Amino acid sequence: MAEMDIKLEVNGRQQQASAQSDQTLLYLLRDKLGLTGTKDGCASGDCGACVVMLDGKPVNSCLVLAPQAEGSSVVTIEGLAKDGELHPVQRYFGESWAFQCGFCSPGMLISCYALIESNDNPTREEILAAIAGNYCRCTGYQGVVKAVQQAAAELRAAREGGTGA
Amino acid sequence: MSVSEFITPASLDDALSIKKERGTEARVIAGGTDLILRMRDNVLSPSLLLDLRRTSLDRIDCSDNGLKLGALVSLSQLLESCDIEQKYPALRAACCEFAGPPVRNRATVGGNVVNASPAADLVPPLIAYDADVVLRSLGAERVLPLVEFFTGPGQSVIEPDEILTGIRLPPPPAQSAATFIKLGQRRSMAISQVNLATRLAVDERSVISEARIVLGAVAPVPMRAIAAEAILTDDELSDETLCAAASKAREEAMPISDVRASRAYRLEMTEVLVRRALFATRARLSGKTTDG
């Protein structure tokens, strides 16, 4: 069994950790780097609890081997808040009751974050398509749709509000 | 799973050298969305993984000569391609219903083909567009029709020293249209119970000059319904002809019962969905003729 040194950027910081060549990025994040916000759900790419940003795109970290992420840039749920301020999509998740037990939220939030980073005025259908790979098994998706729309509106307003702020 | 080595070759030739030396012990990893699961379930136990991400096989090249897809082109890349949207809409339709966004960001066209799943969603539209598959070994290349690639569930004609490097599609004829339909237990994240693609080309008298009916998940390999295609060829686009072809396609399908659907249901759905796909393809054709 080959132990490999994996170097990658996680939430803006260079990290290095050793992992066996058949261990996943999810394992690396949780068990080696202590970033337990990302959840281990089905471990087969169905539920979306483990979704993280990998080189700018949401992926199932349970379906990425650690050495495949060598040299990549990863953003996890721990990386969304900036300077102690929640990202708007996180804040509106709370205000709109977009979660109940919270287990799906880290992956769900990353998928929503990925959407509004590329589209700051998504339709309901676009939001549902963006979270098609994320299952919520307790509170449903209506709150998520509402939260994303509110967060997108705030981001648009901030952008349209000019550069003075 | 226990992989003892993970190598990221700097070039395709480096990867092919390793394949030549190590054969089936060495397995290519592209997106890994299927391979990682099959390794964990011990269906596949390669001792060496070859990550091809430095080999530039992630390119889409569309020209008047057709479409070339590198094996590492992801489903998301296919979805974002204007060329595919305009010229190969049935392929795009299959991408839209493929798993969900996080899987599509990793899964590749080469992986979907080389895994040789009878239910692979990209394969019916690719075969309907007369795709060829490109297989490379050190110092050699062979190109064969994709429909001849598969030999059984998870089985293909690929040799131990070969790597599937790309897919090539000819340019679609002027008066032609294609449709993809997938039936699954839900719209996202579902393995198909039946998937299929139809493509029709017509001549200036609106007589069918070329017909493709490609069925997935109803046989050990994705298959063309040859007898059903023969009913269509040289005939007109009448309801009777399209229904007769759908009925013949049902006779040609040979599904099994499994956890996703029974044999009887799959047979019934084959006829219903081929009919729907042919009607939809005809509607697209007539839309084109009145527009153009």
Task: Report the alpha-carbon distance of residue B197 to residue B154 in Å, rounded.
Answer: 21
B161 and B240 together in one domain: no
In chain A, which residues fall in CATH 3.10.20.30? 3-79
Residues 94-123 of B with CB under 8 A from A: 99-103, 105-106
Q: What angle do CA B71, B191, B57 make, to 5 degrees?
A: 5
From 3.40.50.20, 3.40.1160.10, 3.30.460.10, 3.10.20.30, which CATH number describes the A3-79 domain? 3.10.20.30
**B residues 186-205 closer than 8 Å to A (CB):** 187-189
Measure the CA–CA gap between B182 and B161, rounded to whole angstroms: 34
What average pLDDT does the structure give for chain A?
95
Neighbours of B37 (CB within 10 A): 17
Whether chain B has a CB inside 8 Å of the CB on A125: the answer is: no
The CATH number covering residue B111 comes to 3.30.465.10
Distance, in Å, from the CA atom of B48 to the CA atom of B108, rounded to the nearest integer, reads 20
Q: Does residue B100 sit in the same domain as residue B191?
A: no
Is residue A24 within 8 angstroms of chain B, CB to CB? yes
Residues B151 and B200 in one domain: no
Please give the C-alpha separations between residue A64 and each of A74, A164, B130, in angstroms, as whole numbers: 12, 41, 32
Of B33, B49, B51, the CB nearest to A63: B33
Show residues of chain A in contact with B53, CB under 8 Å: 68
Which CATH number belongs to the domain containing residue B265 in this structure?
3.30.390.50
Check residue B4 and give its pLDDT: 81
CA distance B201 to B271: 21
Query: Quick one: tokens of B174?
Result: 């002027």
One domain, residues B45 and B71:
no
**Pair (B165, B180) in one structural domain:** no
Tokens matching residue A81 = 């808040």
What pLDDT does A157 receive? 94
Question: Does the CB of B62 have a partner CB in chain A at under 8 Å?
Answer: no
Of the two residues A34 and A162, the one the predictor is more confident about is A34
- CB B35, CB B111: distance < 8 Å: yes
Nearest CA distance, B191 vs chain A (angstrom): 11
**B53 vs A165: which has the higher pLDDT:** B53
Give me the total of CB pairs closer than 8 Å, taking one residue from chain A and one from chain B: 86
For residues B223 and B276, membership in a common domain is answered with: yes
Rounded-to-integer distance, Cα B10 and Cα A71, Å: 14
On whether the CB atoms of residues A163 and B219 are closer than 8 A, the answer is no
pLDDT above 60 (res A164): no
**Dist CA A115 CA A130 (whole Å):** 6
Task: Please give chain B's pLDDT, 292 residues, in tens.
Answer: 677 899 999 999 999 999 999 999 999 999 999 999 999 999 989 999 999 999 999 999 999 999 999 999 999 999 999 999 999 999 999 999 999 999 999 999 999 999 999 999 999 999 999 999 999 999 999 999 999 999 999 999 999 999 999 999 999 999 999 999 999 988 888 899 999 999 999 999 999 999 999 999 999 999 999 999 999 999 999 999 999 999 999 999 999 999 999 999 999 999 999 999 999 999 999 885 433 3
Taking Cα atoms as reference points, which of B225, B231, B226 lies closest to residue B273?
B225
Say which amino acid occupies B188: S
Q: Residue A154 carries which DSSP code?
A: H
* Interchain CB contact of A55 with B (< 8 Å): no
Give how far A20 is from chain B: nearest CA, Å. Answer: 8
Q: How confident is the model at residue A163 (pLDDT cuts 50, 70, 90)?
A: low
Contact B37 A63 (CB under 8 A): yes
Side by side, the strands of the sheet bearing B176-183 are B176-183, B194-202, B208-216, B223-224
Last residue of a domain, one of B135, B169, B203: B169
CATH code: domain of residue B40:
3.30.43.10
Residue A162 has pLDDT above 80, yes or no: no
Same domain, B89 and B122: yes
Tell me which residue of B115, B71, B8, B160 sits closest to A21, measured CA to CA: B8
In this predicted structure, what is the pLDDT of residue B290?
39
User: Could you list the residue range(s) of the whole structural domain that residue B12 is in?
Assistant: 5-51
How much is the pLDDT for A165?
47
What token pair was written down for A88?
């708007």
pLDDT at A5 over 60: yes
* ipTM summary value: 0.95
CATH fold label, A88-160:
DNA polymerase; domain 1 (1.10.150)
What is the number of structural domains in chain B? 3
- Please indicate if any CB of chain B lies within 8 Å of the CB of A116: no
A119: contact with B, CB 8 A cutoff: no
Q: B125: part of which helix (H) or strand (E)?
A: helix B123-128
Distance separating alpha carbons of residues A11 and A42, to the nearest angstrom = 24
Record: contact B49-A65, CB cut-off 8 A: yes
Based on the fold, state whether residues B13 and B117 are members of the same structural domain. Answer: no
Looking at beta carbons, which residues of chain A come within 8 Å of B36? 24, 62-65
What 3-state class would DSSP assign to A111? helix
Nearest to A2 among B4, B40, B101 (CB): B4
Strand pairing class (B223-224; B140-145): unpaired
Q: Which pLDDT score, from 0 to 100, does residue B288 have?
A: 57
Indicate if B182 and B287 belong to the same structural domain.
yes
Write the DSSP assignment of B24-72 as a string of letters: GGEEEESS-TTHHHHHHTTS---SEEEE-TTS----EEEETTEEEEETT
| Phi/psi at B279 (5° precision) | -65, -40
**B237 closest CA partner among B210, B207, B259, B261:** B207
User: How far A163 CA lies from chain B's nearest CA (Å)?
Assistant: 31
B193 and B283 inside one domain: yes
B53 touches chain A (CB under 8 A): yes
Tens digit of each residue's pLDDT (9 = 90 or more) over A117-133: 999 999 999 999 999 99
Are residues B183 and B159 part of one domain? no
Query: In chain A, which residues have their Cβ closer than 8 Å to the Cβ of B95?
Result: none
> Distance from B30 to chain A by nearest Cα, in Å?
9
Spell out the alpha helix ranges (H) of chain A: 25-27, 88-95, 105-118, 124-130, 142-160
Residues of chain A within CATH 1.10.150.120 domain(s) are 88-160
